[in-house]
Structure 1
Amino acid sequence: MQSSSEIHLPDRCRSMSSSTASEIKEAGSDEMALLHGSNMLFSPPEQFRRRVSSGKSSPRIYRQQSFGREIGHAAAETYLITRLSFNLLGYLGVGYQWITRLLALACYAMLLMPGFLQVAYCYFFSSQVKRSIVYGDQPRNRLDLYIPPTNGGMKPVVVFVTGGAWIIGYKAWGSLLGLQLAERDIIVACLDYRNFPQGTISDMVSDAAQGISFVCNNISEFGGDPNRIYLMGQSAGAHISSCALFQQAIKESRGESISWSVSQIKAYFGLSGGYNLFNLVEHFHNRGLYRSIFLSIMEGEESFEKFSPEVRLKDPSVRKAAYLLPHIILFHGSSDDSIPPEASKNFTDSLRAVEVKAELIMYKGKTHTDLFLQDPLRGGKDELFDHIVSVLHADDSDALKNDAVAPPRKRLVPEFLLELAGKVSPF
């Protein structure tokens, strides 16, 4: 079986303050309308597949139409992101700290560009990637599906919520993970969700919950096993997805109407996440995500408890829902400056205190981006990836045998560029 970590190159990629928060939501409404309008220009995936399979279009026309859609979609989203960026800078202010971080981010991206380009090519042109499947009625309610190349048998599924400081999250950020896991016969659904200032934390959690519901109820149509669904989030995505998981458990414990069940989630993976907003507000302020912006994203300090899973476990009524939670596995780098490793340690302790099965895996010397970007781009053995796959394939002896003989990960970026990127990283 092929290694999941090997990204196919071109020859293998087939063709083509509450008041402040409300003001910011209003400011983002025109951008939301723009993206909604742009999405209306493109046929939904189901309609598109029916048209292709009908035989009315030649393969050549199909490739041209597909390429035109991708260019149009990319242009619309670039325009949207540019407008949102300027809108966001109006709230952040263009101070010294933000200018230096933006420059560092640009240098960081340029150094890793050799790997990004290879991944981007596969993301746009591989037939294994089903992009922008609609899961809700909001403009950002889209998800990408990464489908394994092999047929036969229902496959495990990972629902992945990307990070991005609640501001720049985007479903394509999970493309490297999605492509690699798909090579190990695992389906991956990367969720998009409203970012600030399009929405605030309650919108993000609502979008994530709706996306999870869509996967739970529809993944069998794509060959996924509805009884083997795993939830994963990275950085801000770990916070958002954990909030969605907790809110669902609370609803179930109260007997409320639900569209998906926590029991469908076999395990939760939290990568470099923060789970207690009270402990993070000053830390983020000192790193440039200023207190006023953070409060706006989180709908004021009065909402901190509601969106802090670690804190919610202290509420007796919430503790009753804890028994519904799945196995929780948290990963963190010991040298993470963006979100302190204590965030995962404290959350693990709180979960164990209410008898939730939880474990923490700490990676010595790893930073916030090492685990999710530099290490996968480096090639070779990847402890985090191998651990996740071992959990996903724990009940499949054949898959475990294939994993044991999988070839080593292919390097996508030269080592000296990775070292330089690590030094200039703004994260």
Structure 2
Amino acid sequence: MKKLIHGFLLDERPAAPHPAAAAYSDLALELSARPQPGIVAHRDVVWGDEPWQRFDVFAPAQSKGSLPVLIFIHGGGWMSGYKEWTGFMAPGVIASGAILVATTYRLAPAHRLPTIIDDCIEAVAAVRARVAEFGGDASRFYLSGHSAGGHLAMMVALRNDLWKGRLGSELRGILPISGILDLHHDDPQPGSLEELAYLKVLQHPQDDVSSSPVSFAALSEMPIVLGWGSADTERVLRSNELMAWLLEKASAPFEVFRFEGADHFQTHLALADPDHPWYAALARMLGK
């Protein structure tokens, strides 16, 4: 069943786990529905038969040649979410020198990790096949995402053993925002989000390590900007600090971007401001 929310006709999703998540969803959609002068939005570009095989492209109205592409993967705890949460980033991304693509994937619990990771690889490959139509450079891709989407962006980039010829040297950098980078927990508490990952997101409990970006930090070669809020959730803080330590130990190229004073949802919503300093970090990466 579909529902009209802020002008978007969207499939109904499970209720948000707490009021802050519901408020984030509503505001992200409201911000993304606002007019964006000078930007053309190509909605629901079809690349397959399944409803989730769609992506949105945001490009400058006036051609600026072939631009690098920032692909953003939405969050929602792997069980909810919309690509339509992403559109408000378009002015900042385009001002940084790229076009923005928002993609989606099948959701848990019907589809679980690692299937969801493979869906995202397929989506990125589909963007590569089509993005030149919208002014994008299919040889220069950067991956980002918020929360569960940050996790998925990292897994797509770091698990090159899963690419199987679908992706390659076009991936140039990763910018996860409030990513959940470690799914392993020795003793998840009943009713916690950690337990929920074992019950409804992972195909098998033993997939927690192989589905965690921290397990592949030593393999990282492309630049990474790890972003999280100073008031983020404990699991985001813990897993990003661990990832930063592992990347430093491996001498991998990375930098840390802290959203000062921001909680888990404010880290993404802050990017409605096209002058937010995170976009300067994006522009530096695009220039490499």
Determine whether 1:273 maps to 2:165: no
CA deviation profile, 1:216-243 (whole Å, cap 9, x unmatched)? 2332222112232111121100111211
Q: State the match for 2:161 in structure 1.
A: 250
Distance 1:206 1:366 in 2: 31
Determine whether 1:259 maps to 2:166: yes
Read off the aligned partner of 1:331 and give its amino acid letter: G
CA contact (8 A) 1:162 1:190 kept: yes
Distance 1:120 1:176 in 2: 8
Q: State the match for 2:88 in structure 1.
A: 176
Q: What RMSD over aligned residues (CA atoms) do the two structures have, in Å?
A: 3.2
Distance 1:211 1:148 in 2: 22
CA deviation profile, 1:162-218 (whole Å, cap 9, x unmatched)? 111112221101111134323554211101111123411223211110111112233
Cα displacement (A) at 1:330: 0.6
3-state SS of the aligned residue for 2:116? helix
Pairing partner for 2:65 from 153, 156, 181? 153
Distance change >3 Å, CA 295–CA 108, structure 1 → 2:
closer
3-state SS of the aligned residue for 2:141? strand
Which runs of structure 2 are paired with 1:257-336 in the superposition (5 Å)? 257-261=164-168, 263-279=169-185, 282=188, 288-289=192-193, 291-292=195-196, 294-313=198-217, 322=219, 325-336=221-232
Distance 2:186 2:62 in 1: 43
Q: State the match for 1:389 in structure 2.
A: 283
Determine whether 1:355 maps to 2:251: yes
Read off the aligned partner of 1:250 and give its amino acid letter: D
CA contact (8 A) 1:149 1:183 kept: no
Cα displacement (A) at 1:387: 2.0
Distance 1:129 1:149 in 2: 9
CA deviation profile, 1:62-105 (whole Å, cap 9, x unmatched)? xxxxxxxxx8x82xx3xx41xx537xx9xxxxxxxx5xx24x55
Read off the aligned partner of 1:303 and give its amino acid letter: D
Distance 1:226 1:380 in 2: 24
Read off the aligned partner of 2:106 and give its amino acid letter: R
CA contact (8 A) 1:205 1:240 kept: yes
Number of positions where the alignment pairs a residue of Structure 1 with one of Structure 2 = 285
Determine whether 1:164 maps to 2:76: yes
3-state SS of the aligned residue for 2:172? strand
The structure with more strand, counted as a fraction of residues: 2
Distance 1:293 1:279 in 2: 10
Distance 1:372 1:336 in 2: 11
Extract unaligned runs of 5+ from structure 2. none
Which runs of structure 2 are paired with 1:26-37 in the superposition (5 Å)? none
Identity %: 22
Read off the aligned partner of 2:188 and give its amino acid letter: E
Extract unaligned runs of 5+ from structure 1. 1-33, 36-70, 90-97, 314-318, 396-427
Distance 2:186 2:48 in 1: 31
CA deviation profile, 1:323-364 (whole Å, cap 9, x unmatched)? 6x3111111112102643221121122223333212222233
Distance 1:121 1:169 in 2: 19
Distance 2:22 2:233 in 1: 19
Distance 1:250 1:293 in 2: 23
Cα displacement (A) at 1:376: 3.5
Distance 2:250 2:23 in 1: 44
Q: State the match for 2:108 in structure 1.
A: 196
Distance 1:109 1:344 in 2: 23
Determine whether 1:120 maps to 2:29: no
Read off the aligned partner of 1:207 and give its amino acid letter: D
Distance 1:300 1:273 in 2: 21
